[in-house]
């Protein structure tokens, strides 16, 4: 009993072939879209790789690029087959390749599923990488004269301005590091000496933040220094002041940006899986409908198309039986070799 049989006459077959051909071209466009999204994601990761300690994993964008290219190829081939399917001569040369092609499509769908899963799961790794990278970024902010780190200040300032965030968790992270280079500190000054001596590591710590933390939406000019000292500024209460500097942390901001990107890409990949499955089903129907023509000479005859030749259970048991046979053949071979070796 075939699985989901459908009767086809010539008109229905032609319609199926045409509809399937359009669907395959849509899938090619979707493949191009996935490819370009992979490239976009890779570029975005590279742009901010300093914030991630140059340690970010490029697995997901590389996989997306590969999957995009494969999707284009697979679907273009499928479209070609559909286009030729209405001409019996042209279709005859594609006929033997169809079974392995459908198996390849199945494998490709599994790869797509894996990609979608990775899109959702790699966000955890991204979170940890960001936390580490930003912590180091804040630590190296002042090293504008150290080769390899001289652009960290600029990168961090532009990130804080662009993503409207301050510090790692919040602005108080800046209170815990020295973010002014020693070159610009007057070591003979009493105040500087006091601050440097006031902590174990001899760092110049202060309750100030860089200018890039400033919120342009604040009604008053930005207060950067002496943030916890209410008396240092007129009419200022640091506990109730909300608009002065950005209150969000940069790890939060960057993570939500990347995670929304990865979620959208993952959703698109899942939609592609559905599209590919529909393509496969359509192609299976088309190929069985063309094979099962009751009168091969008459193109206008009726035929039947199905998804599986036998029911789902039977097909499954057959597959298992085949696998077991493969396994047994190996064992028999090994036994045979052992026997010949013994003799």
Site residues, other proteins (CB under 8 A): 144-145, 150, 153-154, 157-158, 161, 179-181, 183-186, 189, 210-212, 214, 216-217, 219-222, 224, 233-235
Q: How far is the CB of 222 from other proteins (least distance, A)?
A: 4
Residue 305 CB, nearest approach to other proteins (Å): 40
The distance of closest approach from Cβ of residue 32 to other proteins in the complex, given in angstroms and rounded to an integer, is: 21
Based on CB atoms, which residue is closest to other proteins, 208 or 287? 208
Instruction: Give the pair of three-digit tokens for residue 209.
Output: 């933040």
Report the C-alpha gap between 32 and 239 in whole angstroms.
Answer: 51
User: What is the distance between the alpha carbons of residues 303 and 193, in angstroms, rounded to a whole number?
Assistant: 93
Cα 298 from Cα 292, distance rounded (Å)? 12
Q: Which is nearer to other proteins, 57 or 218 (CB)?
A: 218
Residue closer to other proteins, measured from CB, 86 or 214: 214
CB of 258 to other proteins, least distance (A): 22
Least CB distance from residue 188 to other proteins, whole Å? 9
Of 211 and 274, CB closest to other proteins: 211
Give 23 or 51: the residue with its C-beta nearer to other proteins.
Answer: 51
Closest to other proteins by CB, 100 vs 221, is: 221
Residue 317 CB, nearest approach to other proteins (Å):
59
| Minimum CB–partner distance for residue 174 and other proteins (Å) | 11
* Shortest distance, position 74 Cβ to other proteins, whole Å: 32
Closest CA to 279 of 32, 5, 38, 81: 81
Closer by beta carbon to other proteins, 144 or else 169 = 144
Which residue number, 10 or 161, has a Cβ lying nearer to other proteins?
161
């Amino acid at each position: 009993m075939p699985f989901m049989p459908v009767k086809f006459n010539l008109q229905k077959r032609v319609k199926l072939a045409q509809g399937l051909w359009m669907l395959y071209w849509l899938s090619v466009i979707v493949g191009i879209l996935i490819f370009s999204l992979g490239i976009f994601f890779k570029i975005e990761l590279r742009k901010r790789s300093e914030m991630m300690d140059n340690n970010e994993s490029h697995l997901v964008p590389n996989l997306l690029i590969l999957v995009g290219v494969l999707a284009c190829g697979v679907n273009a081939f499928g479209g070609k087959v559909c286009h030729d399917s209405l001409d019996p001569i042209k279709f005859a040369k594609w006929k033997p390749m169809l079974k392995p092609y459908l198996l390849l499509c199945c494998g490709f769908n599994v790869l797509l599923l894996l990609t979608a899963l990775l899109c959702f799961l790699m966000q955890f790794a991204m979170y940890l990488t960001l936390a580490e990278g930003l912590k180091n970024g804040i630590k190296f902010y002042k090293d504008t004269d150290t080769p390899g780190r001289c652009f960290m200040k600029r990168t961090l300032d532009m990130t804080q301005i662009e993503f409207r965030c301050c510090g790692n968790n919040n602005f108080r992270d800046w209170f815990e590091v020295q973010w002014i280079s020693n070159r610009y500190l007057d070591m003979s000054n009493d105040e500087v000496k006091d601050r440097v001596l006031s902590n174990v590591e001899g760092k110049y710590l202060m309750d100030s933040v860089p200018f890039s933390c400033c919120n342009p939406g604040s009604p008053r000019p930005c207060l950067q220094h002496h943030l916890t000292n209410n008396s240092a500024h007129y009419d200022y209460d640091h506990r109730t002041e909300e608009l002065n500097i950005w209150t969000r942390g940069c790890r939060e901001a960057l993570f939500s940006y990347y995670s929304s990107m990865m979620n959208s890409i993952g959703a698109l990949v899942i939609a592609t899986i559905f599209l590919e499955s529909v393509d496969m089903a359509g192609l299976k129907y088309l190929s069985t409908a063309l094979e099962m023509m009751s009168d091969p000479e008459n193109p206008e005859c009726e035929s039947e198309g199905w998804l599986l030749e036998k029911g789902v259970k039977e097909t499954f048991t057959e597959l298992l039986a085949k696998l077991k046979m493969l396994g047994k053949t190996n064992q028999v071979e090994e036994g045979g070799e052992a026997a010949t070796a013994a003799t």
